[in-house]
Amino acid sequence: MAALLVRRCIAGDAVAWEEIVQRYHRRIYNICYRFTGSGTDADDLTQEVFIKMYRTLNSYDVERGAFMTWVTTVTRNLLVDHFRKTRQERVTDSLDTPQSEQDDAMPLGDRIPDKGPSPDTRVQSREAREAVHLALQKLSPELREAVILRDLQDMDYREIATVLRVPEGTVKSRINRGRAELARLLQRTYRQVM
């Protein structure tokens, strides 16, 4: 189905292109949002991804892989470029300083509810999700992109390996390390609050 849409787009069908945009824009936006941590950056990057896709649609080869994989690869490459460009501008404050542009000045440590020592028993609230989102930004880019593609986008290990251009074993290792690091970050903050 996606291959047919791509062929129609290449032939100049604007409706087919709109169909592709409608189908994939949420996914790409979420990947960008979880990776950058900013809604504004995610908006800009999503548009850049589709512009790149529109210009390089001819380069997609259906025999090389699924269209979803190709779209995710384009997204990931632009995210990496964006990360390198903004490396010096990035804020590296601790979790206790407010970073979200949408919330008020409540420190991250105060947002984590003080119920029980185990993270599995914590009430899933909006503040907790915000804390997880902020903790995700603290991971290194390699671990962050691996856990986003696996746990948030439900891609299988082979597809992730194709997108990241690393072996499957490396993908699994990065995912495990990313999960463990995320849990440690959240637990450390929880212990500081206690």
Partner 1 sequence: MQCSEFDALLSQAIDGTLSGERLTVFEAHSRECKICGPLLHEAEAGHSWLKSLEEVEPPDELVTNILVRTTGIDTVRLRQGGRLTTSWMDRVRDWGMMLVSPIVGVARQPRFAMSFGMAFFTLSVGLSLAGVKLTDLRHVDLRPSAIRRTYYETSGRVVKYYENIRFVYEMESRVRQFKQAIAPAEERPQKRDNNDRKENKDNRSGQPDQKQERNYSRGEGVTVYASLRQNGDLSNSTLGCSRVDEPPVVPGATDRRFV
Residue of 84, 90, 115, 184 interacting with partner 1 (CB under 8 A): 184
If one counts every other C-beta atom within 10 angstroms of the C-beta of residue 122, the result is 17
Residue with tokens 């994939």: 24
| Nearer Cβ to partner 1 (22/63) | 22
Rounded CA-CA distance 179/136 in Å is 10
CB of 6 to partner 1, least distance (A): 14
Rounded CA-CA distance 78/34 in Å is 14
Contact 68/115 with Cβ under 8 angstroms? no
Tokens of 108: 């991250």
Counting residues that bind partner 1 (by CB under 8 A) gives 47
Q: Considering only residues 6 through 65, tell me which ones interact with partner 1, judged by CB under 8 A.
A: 14-15, 17-18, 21-22, 25-26, 29-30, 33-34, 39, 42-43, 46-47, 50-51, 54
Q: Considering only residues 130 through 169, tell me which ones interact with partner 1, judged by CB under 8 A.
A: 132-133, 135-136, 147, 151-152, 157, 169
| Nearer Cβ to partner 1 (64/162) | 162
If one counts every other C-beta atom within 10 angstroms of the C-beta of residue 119, the result is 13
